[in-house]
Amino acid sequence: MNKHTAALSAAGAVLALTLTACSGADEKGKGGPGPSAISHIHGVEVHPGDGKLYVATHNGIYTPGAGGRPQLVGDRKDDFMGFTLGKDGTFLASGHPAPGRDAPANLGLIESTDTGRSWKDRSLTGEVDFHSLDHAHDTIYGYDSTNGLLRVSKDGTDWEKRSGLKALDIAVSPTDPGTVLATTESGISRSTDGGKTFAAGSGTVMAFLDWTDEKSLYGVDPAGKVSVSADGGKTWRQTGTAPGGGPQALTAVDARRLVVATQDGVYESADGGAAFTKRLDVTSGGGH
């Protein structure tokens, strides 16, 4: 979701444009497995087992190679949209097939148990494109952008439809399965019943959220400013600004460590967003 930074007074308008975006025009992958250039990032995760950074993009899953150059994982160059990890490190994703691959336009939920080297279809193939996925409380929460609603599944096969809403990202409380937040053009929308209903968006406009620690809900706004909330998003404290502009994805590994993807790179912070180190190069100007 492309974030063209503007003054914060225009943040709602920026996010509104983002909410209507999906994949851009078909873009051929650049080369086979190995170092490559990427420009559209849809998700970032750090694997709990091997500690590697994995980046979901418009043309495959990548990890940092030599000199911070993107290294393609496996050989599948699909347009990976929603991307998250299960408790055991299982990759869960959604999106669209690569140009020329014989598959439905919407991948539904797909799964990899070998860190992205191979994938299998799990459910909703051809029906749904999840733009945001979260795994918490042994449950998968997915924002179904195709139909504009939240879906929830315990097993990745059978899904319960919950509230309709227009959102970019979702985050689930690590301690309360009933509390689900969604980023909207009018602010953060909150559910206290597991996504069956959402209050109207209000307060700070955020592009992306991640909530790994109860007292450390992280958010990045459309201008790239990083903030943390100790009270579940009611109040925020700005910690810094992610370099590169145009945030595209966020993950919080723990209460201090977070990773933010922007227009020119994937950056990691070990101090809650005060300082960042580039982990992966990204070609500038890419959106989706």
Q: What's the pLDDT tens digit per position in 191-249?
A: 999 999 999 999 999 999 999 999 999 999 999 999 999 999 999 999 999 999 899 99
Q: Is residue 40 scored above 90 in pLDDT?
A: no
24 pLDDT exceeds 80?
A: no
Q: How confident is the model at residue 216, as a pLDDT?
A: 97
At residue 280, does pLDDT exceed 50? yes
pTM, rounded to two decimals: 0.88
pLDDT band at 12 (very low <50, low <70, confident <90, very high): low
pLDDT for residue 87: 86
Q: Grade residue 158 by pLDDT with cuts at 50, 70 and 90.
A: very high
pLDDT of 53: 97
- Report the pLDDT value the prediction gives residue 66, as an integer from 0 to 100: 83
Name the pLDDT band for 145 (thresholds 50, 70, 90): very high
Contacts of 9 (CB under 8 A, 6+ apart): none
Residue 16 confidence (pLDDT): 56
pLDDT averaged over the chain?
88
Residue 284 has pLDDT above 70, yes or no: no
C-alpha to C-alpha distances, 134 to 65, 209, 223, 276, nearest whole angstrom = 27, 11, 23, 24
Lowest mean pLDDT among 25-34, 185-194, 242-251: 25-34
